[in-house]
Structures are given as C-alpha cells and as structure tokens.
Amino acid sequence: MHIVICIKQVPDSAQIRVHPVTNTIMRQGVPTIINPYDLFALEEALQLRDRHGGEVTVLTMGPPMAEDALRKALTYGADRAVLLTDRHFAGSDTLATSFALSRAIAKIGEAFGTPDIVFTGKQTIDGDTAQVGPGIAKRLDLLQLTYVAKIVSVDINGREITVERRSEGGTQTLMSKLPCLITMLEGTNEIRRGSLDDALRAARSQIVKWNAADAGIEDLTKCGLRGSPTVVKRVFAPPERAEKAEQIDTAEKTPRDLAEELIAGIFLRQPALESELAFDGE
Amino acid sequence: MLSTNRESPPPAAGRAAMKKELPDQFKDHRHVWVFIELERDQVHPVSFELLGEGRKLADKLGVQLAGVVLGPPGEATWFAIAEAFAYGADLAYLVEAPLLADYRNEPFTKALTDLVTNYKPEILLLGATTLGRDLAGSVATTLLTGLTADCTELDVDADGSLAATRPTFGGSLLCTIYTLNCRPQMATVRPRVMAMPPRGNNKIGRVIQHKVSMIEEEIVTKVLGFLSDGQSATANLAYADVVVAGGLGLGAVENVKLMKKLARTIGADYGCSRPLVQKGWMPADRQIGQTGKTIRPKLYIAAGISGAIQHRVGVEGADLILAINTDPNAPIFDFAHLGVVTDAIRLLPSLTELFTHRLSPHSRDKLAN
Ligand SMILES: Cc1cc2nc3c(=O)[nH]c(=O)nc-3n(C[C@H](O)[C@H](O)[C@H](O)COP(=O)(O)OP(=O)(O)OC[C@H]3O[C@@H](n4cnc5c(N)ncnc54)[C@H](O)[C@@H]3O)c2cc1C
C-alpha cells in the first residue's frame, strides 16, 4: 500500500514574540518543528505500512529549509520525501495550498504509485484552519475522513476502511472506501523513535525536490497570492486590557481568610451568582 | 433592496486596492446565510450565535438573513427552522432527505454547494465545529472561493465586503482577512466566541425547499455507529456558567482532585490548561484555549494557570475571571479581574469549605451534626 502524508514545518509558536512597535512576528531565532498534529498522522501512516507493507511518502510545501522537516520524517521511518518549493507558491492561502499539494500528490501517484491513503494532521498550529485537508480531498476527488481518532481496520483487497471519527458530543464509526484522505486527531498515538537504520538511511536519502513545473502545475494563476481568494488586510496585536486584576492583599492571612475575601469579591462583582451557584451534595 | 453602503466611495489605497471589480457572475450574489448545524436532531447553539452576528451583517448590508437547514424529513428540521426565525432569520432554505440523517461529507457538501449555486448568497457563515469545518472546507474548495477559519470578529466595510478578523500565530496576533473577487465570502466561527443573541418570538418566515440531487447508492461512506459522550461529559464545558480550571501550578495529579472538588461544590464544570492534557492528567476535551475549547462563563476560576496567550484567547469572554497564582507577575493577572497571589493547593480546600457554608444552610447543619 502507498501512503502519502502531508506535513508542514511550523515555527514553534510557544516561542514566538511579537515586535512591540511594528506588530510583526519576530522569527529570528525561533526554532521550527514539524506541526505536532502531523506527527500523529505520520505515526499512524508508519503503523499501517508496518502492518500491511508498502511505502510512506512524506510531502511538504515550503521554503528550501523545510527540507529539515522532511529529513526528520525520514529518521522516523518514512520511505521517501518530496519537497515542493517554488517562489510562485509564496502567499498561498488554504485554497491555493490545497491546489499545489493536490497537484504534487497526483504527480507522486504517477511517479511512485497511486496512494491508497493521504494523511494530514487535523490542522497546523500556525494557520489553525483545518481547511487544507478537506481542500486536498475535494481537489483530488478523494473521500474525506476528518478528525479521525482511530483507524479501526483497513482491508486492502476489499478496498475498505473503517475509522472512528470525533464529532460534536460523540464518536462516529464510519466505513468508507480507499483511496481516501484522513485528517488525524491529536493524542491517539506517540511518534516512534526511529531506528539507527532509519537515521542512516535518512542521512543518505535524496530528497525529491520539485518546483511548480515539476509537479505538473502549468497554471500559475492558481498558485500563491494570485491563486488565493483571501488576502490579509491588516495585522495587529490583541488589544490590551486597561487595568490589571485587582489583587487581594495576602499579608499574614490564612487560606481561610483569603478564601473568605475571594468569595466576598466574587459576589460583590456578580451578586446574581449567589443564587445561581448550586451546592451539589457529596 | 440595495444597500446604501454599496454607494459609498471605494476605500483608499493599501491592500484593499487589490480589490478589483467583482466579476459579473458574482454580481447577483445577495444575502447573508448561516448554516444551521443539526446533528442527531439537535441544533448546535453556535448556529444561534452566528445568527446574531449574521443579523448585524445583513442589517449593515441592507439584505436578508437566511438560515440553511439540511437534515432528514421530520420534526427536527422544522423545529430548527422555527428556532432560526426566533433568533433573527428572515427566511430559511431547507433540504430534507433521508440521506442527510447522519452527517457525512458527501451528501452535505453536495446539498450545500447546490443551494449556494442556485440561490447565490454573498456571505456564508458556519460554526467551526467538527461538522462545520469538515463541510466548509469542501464547499469552499468546490466553489473555489475564500474561507476564513475561526473568526473572532465579523464586519462589513464601507464597500460592503466582509472583513473577517481571526487570531494568527497561536493567538499572538490578530489579522483581518478579505475575500477578493469571489462569492460567497465564507467564514467559520468557534462556539462561544460570539455572544448568544436574545431569542425573539418570531416563528414565521419564508421557507424555500430544495431537493438534493443525490441518492444513497451514490454515497460511499456509511455510518456504522455513534457513541455519545453522554450527559455528564465534556460537551457542556463550552456552555457552562461557572468553570473552574487548573494548570501546571497544581503540581501533581492528586491535586487535580482539589480543583474538581471545588467545581462540584459550586455546581461548576471544570477544565485545564494544555500541559495537563499532555501529561495525561486530564482528557483532551477538558482543555481550554486556542487548541481547546472556548468558554464564556459568568465566573472563571483559574488555579495555577500562567495565562499564556493560547489560554487567554479561550477564556477572555468570561464575565468574571479570578486567578490564583503564586507568581505576582504571571500574565494571567493582566486579564483577570480579581487575583490572589498564593498557593492554590492550600487555598482550594478552604475555598471549597467556605463556599459550602455560604451556599448551603443545609450542609452547614450537616457539618454541625
Ligand atoms: C500552538 C499552541 C497551542 C496551544 N494551545 C493551548 C490551549 O489551547 N490551552 C492552553 O492552556 N495552553 C495552550 N498552549 C500552551 C500554552 O502556551 C502554555 O504553555 C500553557 O497554557 C501553560 O499552562 P500552565 O499555565 O498550566 O503552565 P505554566 O505555564 O507552567 O504555569 C503554571 C503557573 O502556575 C503557577 N504556580 C506554580 N505553583 C503554584 C501553586 N502552588 N499555586 C498557584 N500557582 C502556582 C506558576 O506561577 C505559573 O504561572 C498552546 C501552545 C501552543 C504552542
């Protein structure tokens, strides 16, 4: 079976700082990581390959330095890595991104075998949209299974797949067909430590590098800023709250005293709450 | 009806200058639509929150507000329509078919895309729920239009374009996004980000029924089962009036109990910051914040939570935020209303005890005995 997984190299947003005057992101020195949700998807892809045989191809679209993320994925055990990089992709929104990635996946299919499953993480931590996965599925006319918590079974010969999918207030069990696109939820598995063999192979591996033309993209108006119906008009910092929290003086007070003051403070500000809070027995 | 806004002069230079004349095929797109999310016969409250926002947009544009209901034949869909009218919709579009009983991407995408193509809205809003995001991505890609996720603010600018503001870079910044030269302009909004509008008494409006051009045999994906989270569980956190939450400051998994006990005592729901989920001290759907739930309670008590931006964006809508933290410089004090610099592990049991006294004469009697 051939599995393609899309990953993204993202800034470790926990360490991002915003320039206080210009309101721009200060990227310098901010380390990059593989989007954490993509790692769950990668692990799932590797497990399926280990169980059913076949190959895992990782794909990323990004600047040349995104190669680092691909190498990392190879050390975890992916078999092949494709970097889609071209300055024509700069400024892509989710629609343009899903276009470029879907073309590259089609090309991967021609070059290395049609994928049975395409994986993505449920969303990225920098864009946070959860839109690229469904976009790719639509463009490639693949069945889409989003927010998948668990792959229950895959029947390669029967071309069937059963998954558990999170929905509002519960878990759906869905049966669908291959090929399909899956967006993977967090917390379902933990990425393996790659073996020494994998590390050696990753160091030796050639990363396949494609520009737009290599990926079979002729119509550049569908890429980058030109292919993006949305534009960012304004970027700004969230408004500051004028006053800080009113502090309860803690000097020489027992927890009981403080609790008393806190409760008084709550009901002073929200008198209606007193009648609404319920005592719940045990 | 034409809006007066449309006659306003175009905005000056800047990025908006990229906006060109809208292509002819989109010129007759009118009205604001809100997708009314109906899953397992329940309308998701986010749909009403969106109707509240949609109403404001429609009034500014001088157009009508429509609710879109997709579902199986039966009472639930008509109930959803009546509710949509009560929350401000002028009209409703309805597609009823047995194959819309359980949510599946294929028939829902088909039905919603057909509706848009036929009736041409200029703005289409959906909840950023698992269902809404699954559907919005497919519909926007099918229609090749712009979609802005997780908006925190929606507005129309002088020339009638949708200005959709959303957090970016994990909440550190906000950005305002426009959809140029395509219609509809699509956006999703997370539950509880917009305030719930008042419920009116209007139960009547125009209902336009449309058929879905798909049959069950064409749909590959089948629903084998559904396991509900049940009454007690986490689904309600976003809608709780009072929420108590703990962070890494609780120090150890045993201390999570102190926080839960306080919650139980005052009839609150409980949640946590992200590291507690990562440590396995709490399930993922208890997480509050950017990558967890957005809450909007009347009272939020945060114990041992630093108040990182990713947490802040999930709780900012609370009426009263109370922070317990040992560090006087913790960022949570920048947006909390009431703070106490102290050890939460020592304070929580006292809080629980005193609340018990204050709230329940009955229990006081019990303690006395
Ligand atoms: C992409 C991304 C998404 C994220 N999404 C979320 C999200 O949705 N929700 C979320 O919460 N976080 C999220 N985070 C993580 C976030 O950046 C913070 O790391 C996290 O919120 C910190 O949790 P904390 O405050 O519990 O822990 P810490 O930052 O470790 O803070 C613990 C606090 O407890 C205080 N403390 C210590 N001991 C005590 C005591 N005995 N009594 C009282 N106070 C004490 C300390 O002074 C400190 O302020 C995200 C991060 C990233 C990068």
Residue where a domain terminates, one of B187, B218, B249: B218
- Yes or no: say if A259 and B347 are a contact pair by the CB < 8 Å rule: yes
Going by C-alpha positions, the residue among B139, B31, B22, B131 that lies closest to residue B71 is: B131
Q: How far, in Å, is the centroid of ligand 1 from the Cα of A146?
A: 28
Q: Give yes or no: residues B242 and B273 share one domain.
A: yes
Task: Give me the mean pLDDT over the A170-190 stretch.
Answer: 90
% of chain B with per-residue pLDDT over 70:
90
Question: B337 lies in a domain?
Answer: yes
Please give the single-letter amino acid code of residue A55. Answer: E
Residue numbers of B between 145 and 164 with CB closer than 8 Å to A: 145-150, 163
Q: Do the beta carbons of residue A168 and residue B133 sit within 8 Å?
A: no
Locate the ligand 1 atom nearest the alpha carbon of residue A13 and give its number: 53
Rounded-to-5 percentages of helix, strand, coil across chain B: 40, 25, 40
In a domain, B227, yes or no: no
B224 belongs to a structural domain: no
Read off the pLDDT of residues B315-356 as tens digits, 9 standing for 90 and up.
Answer: 998 999 999 999 999 999 999 999 999 999 999 999 999 999
pLDDT exceeds cutoff 70 at B297: yes
How many residues does the structure list for chain B? 369
Condensed to tens digits (0 to 9), the pLDDT of residues B66-85 reads 999 999 999 999 999 999 99
Q: How confident is the model at residue B3 (pLDDT cuts 50, 70, 90)?
A: very low
What residue numbers bound the domain in which B20 lies?
A: 2-218
Per-residue pLDDT, B11: 38
Inter-chain residue contact B142 with A16, CB threshold 8 Å: no
Q: Is B360 annotated as a binding residue?
A: no
Which among B237, B219, B210, B229 has a CA at the least distance from the CA of B70?
B210
Residues B30 and B178 in one domain: yes
The residue among B162, B189, B218 that closes a domain is B218
Instruction: Give the per-residue pLDDT at B10.
Output: 35
Which residues form ligand 1's pocket by a CB distance below 6 Å? A 13-14, 125; B 170, 247-249, 251, 273-275, 287-292, 304-306, 308, 310-311, 314, 324-327, 330, 343-345
Same domain, B116 and B201: yes
pLDDT reading at A115 higher than 70: yes
Is B291 labelled a binding residue?
yes
Residue predicted with more confidence, A102 or A23: A102
How many CA atoms within 13 Å lie on the side-chain side of A252? 0
Q: Which of A27-31, A43-47, B55-59 has the lowest mean pLDDT?
A: A27-31
- CA A95/CA A75 separation, integer angstroms: 31
Answer whether residue B167 is part of any domain. yes
B21-37 average pLDDT score: 92
Ligand-binding annotation for B289, yes or no, is: yes
As a whole number, mean pLDDT of residues B128-157 equals 96
Q: Say which CATH number the domain at B150 has.
A: 3.40.50.620
B363 and B300 fall within a common domain: yes
* Mean pLDDT value across residues B103-108: 96
Computed over every residue of chain A, the mean pLDDT equals: 91
- CB contact, 8 Å: B171 with chain A? yes
Residue B226 inside a domain? The answer is no
- List pLDDT tens digits, range B237-275: 888 999 999 999 999 999 999 999 999 999 999 999 999
Alpha-carbon separation of residue A265 from A84, A256, B13, B331, B357 (angstroms): 57, 14, 50, 21, 16
- State which ligand 1 atom lies nearest to the alpha carbon of B275: 23
The tokens for A113 are: 């075998």
Give the model's confidence band at A125: pLDDT under 50 very low, under 70 low, under 90 confident, else very high: confident
User: B106 touching A, CB under 8 A?
Assistant: yes
Residue A258 CA to ligand 1 center (angstroms) comes to 23
pLDDT digits (tens, 9 = 90+) for B201-244: 877 899 999 999 899 999 999 999 998 876 544 457 888 999 99
Task: Name all domains of chain A by residue range, CATH numbers in brackets.
Answer: 1-225 (3.40.50.620), 240-281 (no CATH)
In a domain, B53, yes or no: yes
How remote is the CA of residue B303 from the centroid of ligand 1, in Å? 10
pLDDT digits (tens, 9 = 90+) for B175-194: 999 999 999 999 999 999 99
Give residue B60's pLDDT. 97
Do the Cβ atoms of B137 and A231 come within 8 Å? no
- The answer to whether residues B246 and B137 belong to one domain is no
| Closest ligand 1 atom to Cα of B291 | 8
Closest chain B residue to A27, measured at CA: B169
How many angstroms separate the CA atoms of B178 and B189, rounded?
15
Q: Which of B168, B172, B248, B294 has the most ligand 1 atoms within 8 A of CB, as the residue to mutate?
A: B248
Q: Is residue B89 part of a domain?
A: yes
pLDDT over 90 percentage in chain B: 77
Q: Is the pLDDT of residue B122 over 60?
A: yes
Query: Contact at 8 Å (CB) between A209 and A197?
Result: no
Counting from 1 in the atom list of ligand 1, the atom nearest the Cα of A125 is 1
Tell me how far apart the alpha carbons of residues B63 and B66 are, in angstroms, rounded to a whole number.
10
pTM of the predicted model, to two decimals?
0.88
Is residue A107 scored above 80 in pLDDT?
yes
Q: Which residues contact B345 (CB under 8 A, 6 or more apart)?
A: B250, B251, B255, B258, B304
SS3 A93: coil
Average pLDDT over residues A220-229: 94
**What's the rounded mean pLDDT across residues A125-136?**
91
Same domain, B126 and B72: yes
Q: Over 60: is that where the pLDDT of B8 sits?
A: no
Same structural domain for residues B272 and B199?
no
AA identity, residue A225: L
pLDDT of residue A274: 86
Of the candidates B218, B248, B282, which is a domain's last residue? B218
Q: If pLDDT is split at 50, 70 and 90, which confidence band does B313 have?
A: confident
Distance from Cα A280 to the centre of ligand 1, integer Å: 29
Give distance in angstroms: CA of B314 to centre of ligand 1. Answer: 13
pLDDT recorded at residue A57: 98
Instruction: Please judge whether A144 and B144 are an interchain contact, meaning their C-beta atoms are less than 8 angstroms apart.
Output: no
> Do B42 and B177 fall within a single domain?
yes
Domain-located, residue B229: no
Point out the least confidently predicted range of A164-173, A179-188, A265-274, B9-18.
B9-18
pLDDT value of position A11: 85
The sign of the CA dihedral A214, A219, A220, A224 is negative
Reported ipTM: 0.90
Assess whether B352 and B241 both reside in one domain: yes
Q: What is the CATH number of the domain that holds B277?
A: 3.40.50.1220
B74 and B213 fall within a common domain:
yes
The answer to whether the Cβ–Cβ distance between B174 and A126 falls below 8 Å is no
Q: Cβ(B101)–Cβ(B78) under 8 Å?
A: no
Across the range A51-73, mean pLDDT stands at 96
Mean pLDDT (whole number) for B293-307: 96
Nearest CB to A126; choose among B141, B169, B360: B169
Report the residue of chain B nearest A159, measured CA to CA.
B220
In this structure, the answer to whether residues B48 and B179 fall within a common structural domain is yes
Q: Give me chain B's average pLDDT, please.
A: 90
Give the residue-averaged pLDDT of A245-262: 94
- Do B206 and B85 lie in one domain? The reply is yes
Number of domains forming the structure of chain B? 2
Contact B266 A279 (CB under 8 A): yes
CB-CB neighbours of B165 under 10 Å: 19
